[in-house]
Amino acid sequence: HNPRSLQRKLRGARTILILCHGNIIRSPFAAHFLAQSLKNKRSVSVYSAGLEAVNGLRAHPNAVSKARSLGFDLGSHRSAPVTEGMLARADLVFGMEMSHLLLLHKRFPRVRGKVFLLSCLAPETPLEISDPIQKDETEFTECLEQIIRALKPIAVALGASDSLNCISA
């Protein structure tokens, strides 16, 4: 996808869905971080789901802790499996890995044209943001920092100020 095309789509987006595998670490962290970044800037709904999520699980404690250190709360998050309705409501959908995009296109062919990798506007970030589940705390922290770096250009394109640069990962 053309980055300029995505940036145009972001400027007009009102609803963004962020996906990962289980919806307990990466996607809820990313959705809450992005929503926090846009607070008082622009009315954009940001929500998350998982391609293989079990309904109702709490966010992983490491994600909750990192979120708290950045000033937002994941304590009330409960996992949700992605649905056709969620995808229909979303102007844009972001996944963490290529396999997420391929699975989405296979299960929900109508999403074509609005599905992107979360890191696609952040060349300094790895293309795929791997699941840190069952990994040590260092790898877990690196994953969440990659998400923050991947979200900064998205947040700016959505209308957040460039002051996001002062948010340290």
Residue type, 97: E
Q: Give the residue numbers annotated as catalytic, written as ranges.
A: 20, 26, 131
C-alpha span between 31 and 38 (Å, rounded): 11
Q: Which residues contact 149 (CB under 8 A, 6 or more apart)?
A: 119, 122, 124, 125, 169
Q: What angle do CA 105, 121, 100 make, to 5 degrees?
A: 25
